[in-house]
Amino acid sequence: MTEKELYKILSESIDLPAENEVVEFKTAKESFDFNKIGEYFSALSNEANLKGMSCAWLIFGVENTKHQIFGSNFRSERKKLDSLKKEIGDKITNNISFVEIYELNNPDGRVIMFQIPAAPQGIPVAYEVFYYGRVNESLVALNIEKIDKLIFDNAGNFFEGIPEEYCLGEKTPKNYRNPWLVNAMHSLGMIDRLGYGIHTLYVSQRNRFFPLPDYFLSNPKEVVMYMYGQSIDENYPKLLIERRDLSLSQVTLLDKVQKKTPIPDYSANLLRKEKLIEGRKPNYFVGKEISQVTDKKADYSKNKAFNKQQYFEWILKSIQEHGSLSRKDIDELLWNMLPAWMNAVQKSNRIKNLLTELRRKGKIVNEGSDKNSVWVLKN
């Protein structure tokens, strides 16, 4: 941007009656906490996305109430100022950073304008902060924030049933470990409706197009919950945006599919009936119909197998062209044409079965050995 364009943006921002969601002023006379910069970056970037704007601005050297310019000496060396781009990029999801960092030598003092890009559509950004905080021990004992998730670790076991029974909001606990504490907290407004906490979390994450919470009960002395703050598969938020008609039950199952978590056969059959998934157990993948409203068309094609006859035709045509093919040659011919969900052993067995069937049909014959096969067309 030219200096004239920057002064225009600065002037318009200063003339605002107050800071808004996409403009933040900080005096930062000598220094400013690095973690705070990261937090402002993520907040402003997400707000710019929600407002449909291309960028947001964090401005140093301007007081945040009367918008008076005082000037900032923050990282007065240009080299150190530029290094902030990489430092922030390393801590922000998707590795995005400032579009540019501008310096204006205003008569009233140096102004630094950080141009922050809007978050990608449907993929909120988050800043990586590691900290430990202790909350009331009767509630949550440990809270760890990571770049992609919050981890809540609570001493004690799950009091009644399992978390999955509560996610759809169709079950509430009949008993509480400490009913007096629960009622007191509810009366004071410290907790929401009794028994609907897990359901509320699921609905909230679904509405934000984020992965659903995960609960881990492997240790009988603690309950661990993962609350995700970014996408696992960037196409799933797009799916949820396009298909708002999906029930929470369907979303819960699709969430397991995107996390590669096994789902019961009857659940897989329900999703398959609705054309939401395809593939063979346990390698389910998003279905063709859904792939048309997401960016998963290529993934669908990679996962979808060709019919057997096509494999036969490729093998026979190649043997005819070259006179003979070794097993290695046939592997190279078919390997990348087999479904992407297959592992190496499954692909190898699939090719072996195809060759065996062609041999039994009298189409090809092995003129080599079992270990060093040489396949030719049968006369």
Q: Could you list the pLDDT tens digit for every one of the 379 residues in the chain?
A: 999 999 999 999 998 877 678 999 999 999 999 988 988 898 898 888 878 899 999 999 999 888 999 999 999 999 999 999 999 988 886 778 999 999 999 989 999 999 999 988 756 677 764 333 333 333 444 444 445 677 777 767 776 777 777 777 666 666 655 555 555 555 555 455 555 677 778 887 887 778 888 888 878 778 888 888 776 765 566 667 777 788 888 888 888 887 888 888 888 888 878 777 777 777 776 555 554 544 455 555 555 556 788 889 889 999 998 999 999 999 988 888 887 667 888 889 889 999 999 999 999 999 988 888 999 998 7
Contacts 24+ apart (CB under 8 A), 274-283: 274/250, 276/250, 278/303, 278/304, 279/303, 279/339, 279/341, 280/341, 283/341, 283/342
CA 224/CA 215 separation, integer angstroms: 6
Find all residues with CB under 8 Å of 132, minimum gap 6, and list them. 142, 143, 144
- The pLDDT score that the predictor gives to residue 174 is 63
Q: What is the CATH number of domain 3-117?
A: 3.30.950.30
Q: What is the CATH number of domain 308-377?
A: 1.10.10.10
Domain ranges of the chain: 3-117, 132-228, 235-303, 308-377
Fold category of 132-228 in CATH: Heat Shock Protein 90 (3.30.565)
- The pLDDT score that the predictor gives to residue 188 is 52
> What is the number of other CB atoms lying within 10 angstroms of the CB of residue 306?
13
**Predicted TM-score (pTM) of this structure:** 0.40
- The pLDDT score that the predictor gives to residue 145 is 46
Dihedral, 169, 170, 174, 176 alpha carbons, nearest 10: -20
- The pLDDT score that the predictor gives to residue 143 is 46
- The pLDDT score that the predictor gives to residue 82 is 93
- The pLDDT score that the predictor gives to residue 140 is 43
The torsion angles phi and psi of 137, rounded to 5 degrees, stand at -60, -20
- The pLDDT score that the predictor gives to residue 101 is 97
